[in-house]
Amino acid sequence: MVINGLPFTLFERYLLKTIENTHNILDIGTSHKFAKELKPYEALLKERGYVAAGYQPSLTYGEYNCDCHQDIEKMSFMDNAFESILCLEVLEHVKNPFQAVHELKRVLTKEGRLLLSVPFLTQYHGKGNHHSHESYPDFWRFTHEGLRELFQDFHHIEIVPLDGPIEFRLKQFYLGKYIDRFGLLRWFVDAIDTPRLGKATSRHLLFGIK
């Protein structure tokens, strides 16, 4: 999860670009409403017809429970149902990411926008081997070239790494939390650690237009 510095700036830039002037937004594969990086944008998303859909989601979040159950590989929504889709850290848990991407495109309107994040170089983070938000597998990691192949049918895509080689290596040693905890360290890492495609990064962010 990104909460500060350059990764947060990149995420916010593309999130606002994705939901600008939209009136219905699907957050697919989430555990509950406004999870992960979306919490700071709760009020903004509510204004734009936000729908949270998880796979067999837990009902322990009260007012933040998902709006519905959806299987990203076979969604029940009509074609062209949403102007924007958010899909954060989901594809690595899906058996058939090609089918999931087909469904994402199907339920997007023409010129609809997608914001997707996936892990690249990071630790295993599955829980068991069942497909639910309480217990789920971890199948895949995605290079920028793999993402281009997955989303080749989209009219336009942009792919950016969310952190650079230095921050990636700190995270591998479980030191990433200290970057955001100390403002001077966050500033120093952002100043010298430039994210580049094809270099070490923990996550890729993809913005796509159908």
Predicted confidence (pLDDT) per residue in 128-178, tens digit = 666 666 678 999 999 999 999 999 999 999 999 999 999 889 888 888 888
Q: How far apart are CA 34 and CA 27, in angstroms?
A: 8
22: CATH: 3.40.50.150
Partnered with residue 54 across adjacent β-strands are 69
Residues of the chain with pLDDT under 50: none
Query: Using the 8-state DSSP alphabet, how is residue 63 labeled?
Result: G
pLDDT of residue 132: 60
Residue 200 contacts residue 169 (beta carbons within 8 Å): yes
- Of the candidates 61, 78, 59, the one whose C-alpha atom is nearest the C-alpha of residue 69 is 59
Range of the domain at 148: 5-209
Count up the domains in the chain and report the number: 1
Cut 0.85: pTM above it: yes
Instruction: Give the count of beta carbons closer than 10 Å to the beta carbon of residue 198.
Output: 9
Q: How far apart are CA 67 and CA 55, in angstroms?
A: 11
Instruction: Give the count of beta carbons closer than 10 Å to the beta carbon of residue 171.
Output: 19
pLDDT of residue 130: 62
* Residue entry with tokens 């500033």: 187
Q: How far apart are CA 171 and CA 151, in angstroms?
A: 28
Token pair in block for residue 133? 């938000």
Determine the residue type at 9.
T
